[in-house]
Chain A
Amino acid sequence: MTDPIRLLGAPTSAVGARAAGVHPVRTPTGEITGGSLTPLQDLTGTITPADLHFERHHAGVPLIDPARHTLLVHGLVDRPLMLSLDDLKRFPQVTRVHFVECSGNGEPGWRAGIFGAPNPGLTPQQIAGLTGNSEWTGVPLRILLEEAGAKRDATWFLAEGGDACLLARSIPIQKARDDALVVWSQNGEPLRPEQGFPMRLLLPGWEGSTNVKWLRRLELGTRPWMTRWETATYTDPLADGTARQFAFEMDAKSLITSPAFPETITRGWWPLTGLAWSGRGRIARVEVSTDAGTTWQDAVLNLPVRSKAHTRFTHMWEWAGQETILLSRATDETGYVQPTRADLIRVRGAGTLYHWNPVYGWKVAANGRVFFHGAT
């Protein structure tokens, strides 16, 4: 290759592309009713590039003409409203940074493999890739409800998407008063089709499926509707023979994203770095252990630490060549501490579904190879 300082560079272009050799990808691809995962190990900082943000669809990505798409607000309101995308953009706007996480995030790490322990050949993407963190722009939902004249006796609302299954979730109206948004923009540009174009609900800190994409209807009422996605699925069976319903908030969680499988490290200094987040507010602290949990140190948190948003943590570590396990453990501002997998199994049962947030780590072999360690 010619020395670049001896050759005139390339011209400007209409749309930028990633550098040659840089090819982060979501995996798997081609699922219609499944998901695709954010490549956490390839990312730095806290903002997830929109084209790498995880997907989870229940009937594929709908093809929507934004000029014809409307949002209906009705039910217990004084003035049933029909809002276009242009109408929505004329309301007061806010921009907030928040994570979205599917409540099914982490199933491969949780599930025991054929040898009775989680598969050591899992990447950060496979363990926790059903989350992304973005700067979202939209209108506070409370402003739309004020516009429609929400009646005082409304206690729940139904949010319905415009996809081929008309996905619908029941939401307590208090969330609209707190911090719910109807957004049309992600990281400075219109929502991508797979993220809900032209508009989606954003419920900061709440399980992904409640952040209804392709939003087309909000109906105010006095009780939950008991849709499929809050009964047959997205309910959490517990060891005591019950199932937790309307488990909206995502518990605090962290994961070291590097070093991680399938990296191999050499002796010397390494930055342990990863992400932590909580659906209940700010991350207060992230502790890391480089000796399989015998001792813990506070990691450095990159500022600002935002509420209900990914927080980047880093801890410098000098590897002397011994076999060990690297762990991270998040605490949020409510004082909640990320539990171990054994803690969660004890409280919820090994068969529980959704909301898996155990401490996970990485086993470093004496030869420097790094493997997933899920049996905490």
Chain B
Amino acid sequence: MTRRARFGITMLAAALSLLPPAACGRGRDTEPARRYGLGRPATSAEIAARDIDVGADGQGLPAGSGTAAQGEVVFSQKCASCHGANGEGKLPAYPQLVGRDPIAEGFPFGKTPGLRRTIGNYWPYATTVFDYVRRAMPQSAPGSLSNDEVYALTAFLLAANRVIPVTSILDSASLTAVRMPYADRFVRDDRRGGRGVK
């Protein structure tokens, strides 16, 4: 390799190293990533206190259990005032939770405007019911339910939607095993821009 060729490569490498990490126009508007030593290590207790998420694979489900019968009692005490005695909801503020209206069966939501989506006719994962109720409900006292109460409410809502038998007992294993009627209808986004409408 000639000296001139080596010089060219060196200059090219130097020029490339100055390029911005992302497309930010002319010049660089971000610093390189490095460790700045800011913040502090999170303790395992701090992580455990916040790490409440439950995956569709059951990861994160806590110990505990509940039945639909127990859930019906909790629902009437803590949920029915907003969602109605039978989970019929008070629209638009409080969604309908229960309902397997024949018109809405078969997932015709794209074709037919105005159909009500419920846990039974729409939600793809049973674990989401547990995760959401534990996070957010009841609205007047979020985070106040015990894990057993959340299992019981999940059992009640799934049984009322005719997804599981009313005699079911839900715990981490049995909840993970529940398959929702329309889980296979959910598809990943295929829009990519460019010509055409999707």
- Whether B188 and A237, one on each chain, are in contact in the complex, defined by CB atoms closer than 8 angstroms, is no
- Whether A332 and B111, one on each chain, are in contact in the complex, defined by CB atoms closer than 8 angstroms, is no
- Whether A160 and B93, one on each chain, are in contact in the complex, defined by CB atoms closer than 8 angstroms, is no
Q: Which of B90-117 contact A (CB under 8 A)?
A: 92-93, 106-115, 117
- Whether A231 and B128, one on each chain, are in contact in the complex, defined by CB atoms closer than 8 angstroms, is yes
- Whether B39 and A164, one on each chain, are in contact in the complex, defined by CB atoms closer than 8 angstroms, is no
> Complex Cα distance A34/B93, Å?
8
Chain B residues with CB under 8 A of A350: 111-113
- Whether B108 and A83, one on each chain, are in contact in the complex, defined by CB atoms closer than 8 angstroms, is no
Task: Count contacts on A: residues with CB < 8 A to the other chain.
Answer: 79
Number of A-B contacts (CB under 8 A): 195
> Complex Cα distance A348/B34, Å?
45
> Complex Cα distance A81/B40, Å?
6
> B142 contacts which of A59, A84, A112, A158 (Cβ < 8 Å)?
A59
> A223 contacts which of B57, B93, B123 (Cβ < 8 Å)?
B57
Least Cβ–Cβ distance between B122 and chain A, in angstroms:
6
Taking the complex as formed, is B185 at the interface, i.e. its CB lies under 8 A from any CB of chain A? yes
- Whether B135 and A335, one on each chain, are in contact in the complex, defined by CB atoms closer than 8 angstroms, is no
Least Cβ–Cβ distance between A253 and chain B, in angstroms:
13
> Complex Cα distance A158/B36, Å?
23
Chain A residues with CB under 8 A of B117: 232
In the complex, residue of chain A having the shortest beta-carbon distance to the beta carbon of B21? A142
> B51 contacts which of A74, A226, A228, A237 (Cβ < 8 Å)?
A74
> Complex Cα distance A251/B192, Å?
9
Proximity bits, B136-149, A CB within 8 Å = 1, else 0: 10010010000000
Q: Which of A169-199 contact B (CB under 8 A)?
A: 178-179
- Whether B189 and A247, one on each chain, are in contact in the complex, defined by CB atoms closer than 8 angstroms, is yes
> A178 contacts which of B22, B55, B122 (Cβ < 8 Å)?
B22
B-binding segment of A21-29, A41-49, A87-95 = A87-95
- Whether B139 and A59, one on each chain, are in contact in the complex, defined by CB atoms closer than 8 angstroms, is yes
- Whether B40 and A237, one on each chain, are in contact in the complex, defined by CB atoms closer than 8 angstroms, is no
- Whether B38 and A91, one on each chain, are in contact in the complex, defined by CB atoms closer than 8 angstroms, is yes
Taking the complex as formed, is A4 at the interface, i.e. its CB lies under 8 A from any CB of chain B? no
Chain A residues with CB under 8 A of B123: 231-232
Which residue of A83, A237, A238 has the most chain B CB atoms within 10 A of its CB atom? A237
Chain A residues with CB under 8 A of B131: 225, 227-228
> Complex Cα distance A335/B196, Å?
9
Taking the complex as formed, is B27 at the interface, i.e. its CB lies under 8 A from any CB of chain A? no
- Whether B46 and A72, one on each chain, are in contact in the complex, defined by CB atoms closer than 8 angstroms, is yes
Chain A residues with CB under 8 A of B39: 81-84, 87, 147
Chain B residues with CB under 8 A of A109: none
- Whether B193 and A143, one on each chain, are in contact in the complex, defined by CB atoms closer than 8 angstroms, is no
Proximity bits, A74-113, B CB within 8 Å = 1, else 0: 1000011111100100111010000000000000000110
Known: A34-B92, A165-B135, A168-B135. 19 other contacts (CB 8 A): A81-B40, A81-B41, A83-B39, A143-B31, A143-B33, A164-B139, A165-B136, A219-B53, A221-B55, A225-B54, A228-B132, A241-B110, A243-B107, A248-B189, A251-B191, A332-B193, A344-B197, A350-B111, A352-B109
